[in-house]
């Protein structure tokens, strides 16, 4: 199956050898987004809610470049370095998804790139 690499300046550039996203068939697979400001490339430091919103805005930009949107997301994986942040993360996350939220896993991890506290990846439909 052929695939198409997704790239946009509206989301942070990859911090390693990977694509922001890849379209394969009717799906786009988005790489994990940490709370980087796409304009500066700097990590957003704030509340867990603020950092969650930045991650999701970054994902929304990649999805838009892939002719998709957060409304088309079917699966999310979130990574938190401190599971005590789960409730605050969950509240901020819920504002981006309606009553028919996508499937999701939230995983506690020891560390994330650039010292981030949160990383979020997703799979969405493109059609």
- How far from the centroid of its chain's Cα atoms is residue 91's Cα? 16
Percent of the chain with pLDDT strictly greater than 70: 99
Label residue 114 left, alpha or beta by phi (over 0 means left) and psi (-120 to 50 means alpha). left
**Among residues 66, 76, 83, which one has the least CA distance to residue 127?**
66
- Dihedral, 125, 77, 2, 20 alpha carbons, nearest 10: 100
Radius of gyration of the chain (CA): 14
* Position 127 pLDDT exceeds 80: no
- CATH superfamily, with its number, for domain 3-125: RutC-like (3.30.1330.40)
> For 70-125, what is each residue's pLDDT tens digit?
999 999 999 999 999 999 999 999 999 978 899 999 999 999 999 999 999 999 99
Domain boundaries, the chain: 3-125
pLDDT at 1: 66
Mean pLDDT across 40-64: 97
């Amino acid at each position: 199956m052929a695939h198409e690499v997704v790239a946009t300046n509206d989301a942070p550039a990859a911090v390693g050898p990977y694509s922001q996203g890849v379209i394969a068939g009717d799906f786009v697979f988005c790489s994990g987004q940490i709370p980087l400001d796409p304009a500066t490339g700097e990590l957003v430091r704030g509340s867990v809610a603020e950092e969650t919103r930045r991650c999701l805005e970054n994902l929304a930009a990649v999805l838009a470049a892939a002719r998709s949107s957060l409304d088309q997301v079917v699966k999310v994986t979130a990574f938190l370095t401190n599971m005590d942040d789960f409730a605050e993360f969950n509240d901020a996350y819920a504002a981006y998804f309606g009553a028919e939220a996508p499937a999701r896993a939230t995983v506690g991890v020891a560390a994330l790139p650039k010292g981030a506290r949160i990383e979020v990846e997703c799979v969405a439909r493109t059609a």
